[in-house]
Structure 1
Amino acid sequence: MNVKQRSTTFLKVIIFLIGIAMLVLCIHWLPEIAIKDAKVHPDTAYFLIPFLVCAYGFCITFSVALYQAFKLLTYIEKNNAFSELSLKSLKVIKKCAFTVIFLILLGIVSLKVLAKITGDDPAGPISLSLMGILATSIIAAIVDALQKPLNNVPDIKSKND
């Protein structure tokens, strides 16, 4: 096993473990947190619906991006890094990043509405959300930077025309 295969295998294992964590989050933690919050605050329990929609949308979108990253690593292992399939994976990852940003913004709007009704201070969760938007924007910029050289590869360029 050469160095490139070891490093891509290591990254695949990390992606797989992150995927397992996302599955546990969606199946176990999110419903449990929602039920506990609905019991503690029954008057605003209906506000959990937008948060759960955003949270599950985030998890699904993030899982799709993880799967595409896994596929991209497989293409790299097979020396197909400069292929149309790699370009498609990068495009899907970039779309997922923009979807995650949109869902975080929806969560911020829901949080602001809830804060108006309850009188709570939403500064902490909003600042964490803005950090998430910054991190996702950086990932989208990196993917865009990786996409540009692939668009200039002659084999891919002739197939896209």
Structure 2
Amino acid sequence: MHRGTTLFLKAAVVLIGLPILAIYIFLVPGIGNFAAELYPEYTAIRIWIWIDLYATAIPFYLALYQSFRLLIHIERRRAFSDLAVQALKKIKYCGAAVGGLFAIGMPLYYMMAERDDAPGIIVIGLVIIFASWVIAVFAAVLQKLLQEAIAIQLENELTV
């Protein structure tokens, strides 16, 4: 793969991370405060929403880091290696973790949507869960395909 293509993809990975970082910095505290205003009787709802949303940042940025590492392996012509398989495996787990953490937090977001009469909150949450799990399944399929390609490559090297 040409260096320009991987450079473009690396820039895309970084540009994906920047707006999400801005969301975590500027919007998440407001979401927690909004939930606290909706439910003043539940004093800990703000903290639970912050914990859930900030906990999703960890696997998200780990997946971005693994994507960046995978692009480095491709650039250095090590795409068919165990390192690439491990990166895809970690991306799979991170995608599942992001979806799982959002799924765990859905009752909180349902409560917010119920009180504020904003069903869009539920839809956004479901889209994030679905997209995360699709990424996890896609990474799992790529991992299996890459493992099979490596096995075929090793078999061909042994027959020569």
Q: Per the shorter chain, which TM-score range?
A: 0.7 to 0.9
Of 105, 122, 134, the residue aligned with 2:103 is 105
Whole-angstrom CA distance in 1 between matches of 2:62 and 2:27: 20
Q: Give the C-alpha shift of residue 156 in structure 1.
A: 9.3
User: In the alignment, what sits opposite 2:67?
Assistant: 69
Secondary structure of residue in 1 paired with 2:24 = helix
CA separation of 1:115 and 1:24: change in aligned 2, threshold 3 A:
closer
Tell me the TM-score normalized by structure 1.
0.80
Whole-angstrom CA distance in 1 between matches of 2:122 and 2:154: 42
1:12-50 per-residue CA deviation (whole Å, 9 max, x = no partner) reads: 011112222233333333234434654676444421222
Tell me the TM-score normalized by structure 2.
0.80
Q: Which amino acid aligns with 2:103?
A: L
CA separation of 1:122 and 1:87: change in aligned 2, threshold 3 A:
same
5+ unaligned residues in a row in structure 1: which ranges? none
Whole-angstrom CA distance in 2 between matches of 1:157 and 1:100: 35
RMSD across aligned positions (CA):
2.8
Whole-angstrom CA distance in 2 between matches of 1:157 and 1:150: 12
Whole-angstrom CA distance in 2 between matches of 1:79 and 1:53: 40
Whole-angstrom CA distance in 2 between matches of 1:81 and 1:49: 42
5+ unaligned residues in a row in structure 2: which ranges? 156-160
Of 76, 79, 97, the residue aligned with 1:78 is 76
CA separation of 1:115 and 1:29: change in aligned 2, threshold 3 A:
closer
Higher mean C-alpha deviation, range 40-49 or range 84-93: 40-49
Aligned length: 154
